[in-house]
Chains A and B, each alone.
Chain A
């Protein structure tokens, strides 16, 4: 049980710095890459083998596990990776449509705001549509809500 909790804490440390859906997708790709490599015999540590093949988040994560001697042995690496993939599957994705190209800082700020208010890890998928003028359109768990200025103007026009 302790091991499971430790593993979850470990997984969380990997996704702590992730706030965008495409970052999460990249980590999933990295897991597939590492899974494919895990069956090949290579020289040196796993981190050195994957350094040029995966993203920096995954590389640093594997490197930290190696340094702390927490990286599972080759025999159970596959199980570990599938557990990690399952953990990532459980992370919620919120699609946010905005009228401008959001900076990375702003994306992070919004993701953190959502995490704080939802009480769990989420990643945001930002889409840009200038037609909404301003504001936001949210899609979350099959729900869709339009908080855009375009919708606001349309509602007011309809009431005229």
Chain B
């Protein structure tokens, strides 16, 4: 980039110089003081022609160099753009892959959680049903047994319970 600026500056200087020569010609101001003699005039003319040739050569060379540099820079830009494009494509592809993987992971995790929740819900429901069945059986057993036991059986049950209390030392431990 610095080189490009330097070339542009040089070209501008040359152009300014050419413009100066053109102005001097139009104003008929001799670039070099005309020799008073005819020989001097001829020499001057020759010098002018040679100078113009040299300047044209210089301009042509500068133009070629500028073109070459510009072409080089354009090529660099094109190459950079191509490389960036490739990198961007690779990045997009990679990001896409990561997104797909993450999505797959999240979906799998959600499914696992859903299955876990379902299992827990099912277990809770079964436990509740179990408890309800137990409560029903208990209530029915109470009602049926309560009505079925006669006084004599009640008395026997009480005596049996007292014997159990005795065996378990409930009465013994309470002795003073």
Contact = CB atoms under 8 A, between A and B. Distances in A.
Nearest to A96: B158
Interface in B125-171: 134, 137-138, 141-142, 145-146, 149, 151, 153-155, 157-162, 164-166, 168, 170-171
Contacts of B175: 118-120
Nearest to B174: A141
B162 A136 contact: yes
A2 B146 CA distance: 54
- Among A96, A117, A135, A153, chain B packs the most CB atoms within 10 A around the CB of A135
* Interface residue SS majority, chain A: mixed
* Interface residue SS majority, chain B: helix
B154 A157 contact: no
B145 A157 contact: no
**6 nearest CB pairs, A to B:** A147-B161, A136-B161, A134-B157, A100-B154, A135-B161, A141-B174
27 contacts: A96-B158, A98-B158, A99-B149, A100-B149, A103-B151, A106-B158, A110-B158, A113-B159, A113-B162, A114-B162, A117-B171, A120-B175, A133-B145, A134-B153, A134-B154, A135-B158, A135-B160, A138-B165, A140-B174, A143-B173, A145-B168, A148-B161, A149-B145, A150-B142, A153-B138, A157-B134, A157-B138
